[in-house]
Amino acid sequence: MNRIKKQLIRFIVSGFSAVITDAAVYWILLHIISTSFSKGCSFICGSIVAYTMNKFWTFEQRHPSRNEVIRFIVLYSFTLLVNIFINRLVLYIYEVKPLAFLCSTATSTIINFIGQKFWVFKIELIENK
């Protein structure tokens, strides 16, 4: 299996793991705190899973990189805002929590894939050329 295909498969597995974490925390917190705060907390938990799996497993980067962590935090801070906005927008329009979760997750996944591939882990991309 070539390296890019291997990374793509691992990115998908990592993404599903992050989404499962996000969903589980979201559904648990919905019964305790507000919807937006639940979504924010769940997104952060899923982001920690995504970063850890993508850094060490998907892109196999073992070196410590403060800049990489900073880029990841900036990217995920932006997508957190987008995620919460889309979640609230879909809830406002359709009032269906599972649909809101799926729409907000899909949107932030696309943004995160592009950001990780071309910005967060760009050092890894340069090394492979």
* pLDDT tens sequence across 24-33: 999 999 999 9
Q: Is residue 23 predicted with pLDDT exceeding 80?
A: yes
Q: Is residue 126 predicted with pLDDT exceeding 60?
A: no
Query: Taken in order 59, 43, 83, 13, is the CA torsion positive or negative?
Result: positive
pLDDT category of residue 128 using cuts at 50, 70 and 90:
very low
Cα angle 3, 68, 117 (rounded to 5 degrees) comes to 40
Work out the average pLDDT over 105-126. 78
For 70, phi then psi, to 5°, come to -65, -45
Q: Is residue 90 predicted with pLDDT exceeding 90?
A: yes
In this structure, are residues 104 and 83 in contact, taking their beta carbons and an 8 Å threshold?
Answer: yes
Query: Taken in order 113, 13, 24, 120, is the CA torsion positive or negative?
Result: negative
Q: Is residue 40 predicted with pLDDT exceeding 60?
A: yes
How far CA 128 is from CA of 66, 116, 117, in Å, comes to 21, 15, 13
Q: Which of 65, 1, 51, 64 is nearest to 21 (CA)?
A: 51
Q: Is residue 85 predicted with pLDDT exceeding 90?
A: yes
* pLDDT tens sequence across 51-70: 999 999 988 888 878 898 89
Q: Is residue 109 predicted with pLDDT exceeding 90?
A: no
The count of residues in the chain is 129
Indicate yes or no: pTM above 0.85.
Answer: no
